[in-house]
Amino acid sequence: MTGRRAFLALSGGAVLAAGLPAAAIATTPRLVVYDSRLAAGRRFAEQAARDGRRIFDIAGQDQRLWREARAGFGLSPGEGVTGITRWSDWVGIRFVLAERGLRVAAEEKVESETTGTVFVWTMA
């Protein structure tokens, strides 16, 4: 199974609930990183929380965000992380998690009339 159906199955519907397009991913994300300043981010996190995933809001948490990211967000080997953020946050998070051995499994640029450009991404 690939594409939108696979992502929806693995993400527990969080992407669909947020009204976002989906990309194929290789793992079930254990953690969802989002920006609560974005309406799509809030919807994404609400669904993820209902699905039993851990959530991490990056809004206003610069010091905690980078401390948690450097520590790998407490993920165990084989656990993935997915998120919806603006480009600048995605670049920083991606760099720090790549240093911990995680790799980009999916990345999709999403244009929204209300939010502007956001990125939906997964690392495993």
Cα 78 from Cα 3, distance rounded (Å): 21
State if pTM tops 0.85: no
The pLDDT, as a whole number, for residue 81 is 92
Domain locations in the chain as residue ranges = 3-123
CB crowding 24-36: b at 16 or more within 10 Å, else e: ebeebbbbbbbbe
Each residue's pLDDT tens digit in the chain (124 positions)?
Answer: 334 443 344 344 445 444 444 443 334 678 999 999 998 899 889 999 998 999 999 998 777 877 887 787 888 888 889 999 999 999 999 998 998 888 999 998 888 777 788 999 999 8
* DSSP code string of 90-123: HHHHHHHHHHTT--EEEEEEEEETTTEEEEEEEE
The pLDDT, as a whole number, for residue 28 is 62
The pLDDT, as a whole number, for residue 123 is 92
Cα 4 from Cα 14, distance rounded (Å): 12
The pLDDT, as a whole number, for residue 40 is 86
